Structures are given as structure tokens and as C-alpha cells.
Copies of this chain bind each other. A is one copy, B any other.
Amino acid sequence: MSSAKFSLAAAALVVAAPALADDAALREQARELFETIPLAAPTLENNVISRDRVDLGAMLFFDPRMSRSGLFSCQSCHNIGLGGVDGLETSIGHGWQKGPRNAPTMLNAVFNIAQFWDGRAPDLAAQAKGPVQAGVEMNNTPDRVVATLESMPGYVEAFDAAFPGEENPITFDNFALAVEAFEATLITPNAKFDQFLMGNDGAMSDQEKRGLALFIDTGCVACHAGINVGGQGYYPFGVVEKPGADILPEGDKGRFAVTETADDDYVFRAAPLRNIALTAPYFHSGKVWDLKQAVAIMANSQLGAELSEEQIDDIVAFLGALTGEQPQVVHPTLPPRTMTTPLPEEM
């Protein structure tokens, strides 16, 4: 009995050996291109991720009174339960207006080279100031945000704790720093892909591994590499072939609006692909709901590659392995308004 067992185990080892060798090679290749999501928030250059600052940031992130109407919070478009997006082509904002671009996720966004589809904000603090003021989004002003915060003792205390020693802690800059500190904690470790990178062969299925190999070999990694599998550089949408105006609206020239150089026509930050299976619809226009179609369009327009149905399925399976553990956040209890809190304005 004991010897029979031994031979069975030996046989299994022989069959598994080539797969293991492939796994090792694939992992080695992948490790040169990608990085795992860490378990804890990274250190920031211009901010301190203290417990008090993160807690304050969570309050601000979930507080609809940061918008003029009182309806929208950061959470409205960057829903922590929906992979950090709103699941709309483009967001609905103040007065039922439509935003110009699909809302990107804030999950792992701290690892992006810069924020927004065109990278016009260098960090999450700068980003946080945008939607609050945008007329089609929260339609507020820095002064009104500060007045709102100053009117509530709960926020006065929370800012004191989060920015100790500052004479006047309630500022629009500190509002943005607190939101950034909270968002820096919204990272999604332990995706199957991360587990594979860390050495667990069984974490990814064969199809997912084939998809990873294809993702590398086809050239997707030219733009989608690094810790966020994208989000690290700027590239024109339509390198080889420009998609139709239904997917790439002519009016939105992307990074051109930031740099005003012709080279940046239709240039966008390569989308970070972490949790991409959760964040339909796709592209800055939000016009594509099917991840398979998105992969096919990318292969075609960026690489001139015509992928087979099977290859697309494999890559989509790999992209599914980029879904990490979603943040578990207790919804904060927000300070009650007072008689000096600005009233909501719907118009």
C-alpha cells in the first residue's frame, strides 16, 4: 500500500512538472512587468495618513452636504460598493446634468501616476477639489464648503484632531488632504493575480494564466503595466486605428486640453485595470458595457491585433483575476447641521 501511494504521487509529479515550469516562467515575466497591491496604504509625499485624518476623510467622502444641492457626495460617483464607480456612462450631476467623462475608480488610484482621464491632477488631493467645484457635478465653491464645515462642531473637532497644531485647520486644502488620506486606504490587495505573483501557482486558473501570457505577448503591457496594470502613462486612443465617434467622441481631445500640444490629441492616461471586471461601462466615454468588446477594441485600435474569440475570453478571464479584496468601510456617522450651516440649493 505504502509503495503504491508513493508511485501515484511520483506520477502526479511527472504530469504536473511542465505546468509548474511554465508557471515559474510566466511568474518571472510577470514580476518584471507588474507589482502586487500592498496590504496597507502607501506613504504619501505631501500627506500624513493618520487615523484621525483617514476618519475625517471618510466623513467628507460620504457627506452629501459637500455638494451645493445636498444630494451628491464623492461616494455618489465613486461608490465603494461598486468597485469605486457609479456604473453609468457618465455621471449624473447637479440639476441632472451629465458629466463629460466616465467616472474612474478611486480604488488603488493612489498608485496612479496622476488623476483624471487626462492626468490633470497630480495627486488625489488635487483631484478631490475638482468634482466639488464642477458645475455639472457637485457645483459647490471652496468658500461654501469651508462655511459648511465650520458650522458643525463635529467637523471643527475632527479637523482639529486631523491637523493638530494648525491654527486654522478647516481649509479647502485640508479638506482635500483628508479625502486623499482616506482614499489612500482604499486599496484592494490579494487579487488572484497578486497571489499568483507572490508564488501561489493554484491562485489562477489555466485560462487566467493563458490570458496573462496573451496580455503580455500581444503587447497590452506596453501601456497596461505596473502595480495598477495601467494608470502609469499617457497614450493616444487609436494608435493603429481610431475607433468610431460612438466610442471616441470627436469633441473630447483628452490630454490636449491639459497640455495644448497637438501631440496630445486624443491622448488619455492608460486606464488602470485593477478591478476592471467590476467597473463597467468602459473607456472615457463609457460607451462600451462588455469587457470582451473593450478588449477587442483595444487590441484593434492600439495594437492592430485581431484576437480570436477564444483569446479574448482568455484575456477577460485574466482581467477578472485582477479583482482584489474590496475595502470594508463602516459608513461614518456625520455631524448634524446647525442653524449656521448653508442651506442646500437645488438651482
Q: Is the CB of B330 within 8 A of A329?
A: yes
- Does A346 sit within 8 A of B, measured CB to CB? yes
A86-B64, A344-B88 are contacts. A331–B333 as well, Cβ < 8 Å?
Answer: no
Interface residues of A in 163-214 (CB under 8 A from B): none
Kindly identify, within residues 73 to 97 of chain A, every residue whose CB is under 8 Å from any CB belonging to chain B: 76, 79-83, 86-89, 92, 95-96
Q: Is B346 a contact of A92 with CB atoms below 8 Å? A: yes
* Chain B residue with Cβ nearest A278: B336
Residues of B near A44 (CB, < 8 A) are none
Residue pair A328, B326 in contact (C-beta under 8 Å): no
Q: Is the CB of B88 within 8 A of A71?
A: yes
- Whether the pair B333, A330 counts as a contact (CB closer than 8 A) is no
Q: This chain: how many copies in the complex?
A: 2
Q: Is the CB of A87 within 8 A of B339?
A: no
Q: Looking at the assembled complex, report how far the CB atom of A71 sits from the nearest CB atom of chain B, in whole angstroms.
A: 5
Chain B residue contacts of A128, Cβ below 8 A: none
Kindly name the residue among A64, A71, A332 whose own CB sees the greatest number of chain B CB atoms within 10 A: A71
Q: Is the CB of B337 within 8 A of A280?
A: yes
Number of interface residues of A (CB under 8 A): 41
The main secondary structure of chain A at its interface with chain B is: loop
Q: Please give the distance in Å from A68's CB to the nearest CB on chain B.
A: 12
A337–B87 touching, CB < 8 Å = yes
Q: Report the separation of the CA atoms of residues A293 and B98 in the bound assembly, to the nearest whole angstrom.
A: 38
Q: Are B92 and A339 in contact, CB atoms less than 8 angstroms apart?
A: no
Interface string of A83-118 (1 = CB under 8 A from B): 100111100100110100000000000000000000
Per the bound structure, the CA–CA distance linking A236 and B66 in Å amounts to 37
CB of A135 within 8 A of chain B? no
Since A71-B86, A87-B337 are in contact, a sample of 10 more A-B pairs with Cβ atoms closer than 8 Å, ordered by chain A residue number, is A59-B81, A64-B79, A81-B331, A82-B336, A83-B336, A95-B96, A96-B96, A96-B346, A98-B346, A330-B330
Which 7 interchain pairs have the tightest Cβ spacing? A96-B96, A81-B334, A326-B333, A278-B336, A71-B92, A80-B331, A328-B330
A186 CB, nearest partner CB in chain B, Å: 11
Q: How far is the CA of A70 from the CA of B334 in the complex (A)?
A: 24
Docked-complex contact A334 and B88, CB < 8 angstroms: no
B96 to A81, Cβ gap below 8 A? no
Q: A96-B95, A339-B289, A339-B290 are in contact. Are A334 and B71 (CB under 8 A)?
A: no
Assuming the contacts A80-B331, A87-B344, A331-B81, asked whether A336 and B277 have C-beta atoms less than 8 A apart, the reply is yes
Q: Which residues of chain A from 22 to 78 have a CB within 8 Å of any chain B CB?
A: 59, 62-65, 69-71, 76
- Which of B71, B289, B332 has a CB less than 8 Å from the CB of A343? B289
How many whole Å from A139's CB to the nearest CB in chain B?
12
In the bound complex, how far is the Cα of B70 from the Cα of A76, in angstroms? 10
Residues of B within 8 A of A330 (CB): 328-331
Which of B62, B89, B289 is the one whose CB lies under 8 Å from A81?
B62
Q: For A343, what are the chain B residues with a Cβ–Cβ distance below 8 Å?
A: 289
Contact with B along A135-176 (1 / 0, CB 8 A): 000000000000000000000000000000000000000000
